[in-house]
Structure 1
């Protein structure tokens, strides 16, 4: 595993940085489960599991608050520089992405409960399953990249978002056509469309998570670069 942390004279500082990192990964694990469970609850019409997903939002918000306080305290008390500063700034931004992923998972759970209430499996479940698999993999691998400080994996996840976007656009076009042919399906299919929208946004947040990691590792802001430029950043990191 790559190592970026500095061996400080103050062991307390080392401990504070490691605690911050562990809290971030813990929050990531909760969100990863939340996303996977929300998709499973919808596809399997599992109401109790959907309620569990919604309940986990409180845990995510609590961890978000804890990490925000830790980042603020370290910045004020330690005045970190270089890699330490990038780590704190990166985690501070990445936590926001995780919190928004959790919000989208909660939305999926809400729509799952509505669809379960209607008692009919509408069109779009195949698309939800396919895009859901792609997105849950992105979430898992983005967190793995953070845990291992793996820039190659981070770049791979960021690039995978393009495939999710293409699948999403194709699915939306198909569902809109279906609603036009059968107006009675509009209410049900709109719930599916909102689920697909949440999945697409979770993919975006996974990509942003990986972009924050690239910044942590080499200090380069890649939020607005092309896929080719992103590949070049990874290649440059290997040469460094």
Structure 2
């Protein structure tokens, strides 16, 4: 199902306003996605120039959040949307908050890359960052695609993947702690990597939130505090 076919109204201007928040959300999502990918690559490649670009790009994401929020407020005030339209506006207002926080987390990773480069500690090809970063980047892309297409199956996949990321994050943290104990000289470098992994894990959480908004938008049920099994049942109800 394509989100552009979500609903149509007699008022052409109303249709334009709804389409605008969808389009702007997609643009903001693309900006956040580039921030995440560039931050991961900057850390892995010790690319300080790219890292600085990520930090600067955060201003654009923040500005987009303000713009879209204002558009949603105007729709609520002027149109008093109901049913699916109201869910769309609510979902968009929540989604832009998560995207803004994704931008913040990407900036944190970029700042870690800059700090490590300046201290001569930046690793090249660090396996934990590459592995978890790949998962998280795919989660975010799929979450944005599921929002654009109202694809429940894709949204569910994002929620399921978040559990995998959480487990891999916990395993990586235990291994890094052990490494620091065995080699105290590595503490500063490893702590920077741990902070970066924490930021990646949080990006995964925000991507999961985006996917849950899709389920709310389509099914009308808030699943933010539901466990994975309940969300799976919501998307694919078992026959009674």
State the TM-score bracket (shorter-chain normalisation). over 0.9
- Please say if residues 124 and 189 of structure 1, whose CA atoms lie closer than 8 Å, have aligned partners that are also in contact: no
What aligned pairs does 1:7-46 form with structure 2 within 5 A after superposition?
7-46=8-47
After TM superposition, give the deviation of residue 116 of structure 1 in Å.
Answer: 1.4
After TM superposition, give the deviation of residue 121 of structure 1 in Å.
Answer: 4.4
Q: When the two structures are superposed, what TM-score results if normalisation uses the length of structure 2?
A: 0.95
Structure 1 gap segments, 5+ residues each: none
What aligned pairs does 1:25-174 form with structure 2 within 5 A after superposition?
25-122=26-123, 125-174=126-175
Matched residues in 1 for 2:55 and 2:19: separation?
29
After TM superposition, give the deviation of residue 208 of structure 1 in Å.
Answer: 0.6
Matched residues in 2 for 1:234 and 1:211: separation?
10
Runs of 4 or more consecutive aligned structure 1 residues displaced over 6 Å after TM superposition? none
Matched residues in 2 for 1:78 and 1:64: separation?
21
Deviation string for 1:160-215 (max 9, x for gaps)? 00010011001100111111122221111110000000000000000011111110
What value does the CA root-mean-square deviation take over the aligned residues?
1.6
Matched residues in 2 for 1:182 and 1:134: separation?
28
Matched residues in 2 for 1:133 and 1:120: separation?
22
SS of the equivalent of 2:64 reads helix
After TM superposition, give the deviation of residue 222 of structure 1 in Å.
Answer: 0.6
SS of the equivalent of 1:119 reads coil
Structure 2 gap segments, 5+ residues each: none
- Please say if residues 115 and 121 of structure 1, whose CA atoms lie closer than 8 Å, have aligned partners that are also in contact: yes
After TM superposition, give the deviation of residue 124 of structure 1 in Å.
Answer: 8.9
SS of the equivalent of 2:169 reads helix
Are residues 44 and 184 of structure 1, via their aligned partners in 2, closer, same or farther at CA, if it must alter by over 3 Å? Answer: same
Partner of 1:2: 2
Q: When the two structures are superposed, what TM-score results if normalisation uses the length of structure 1?
A: 0.95
SS of the equivalent of 1:162 reads helix
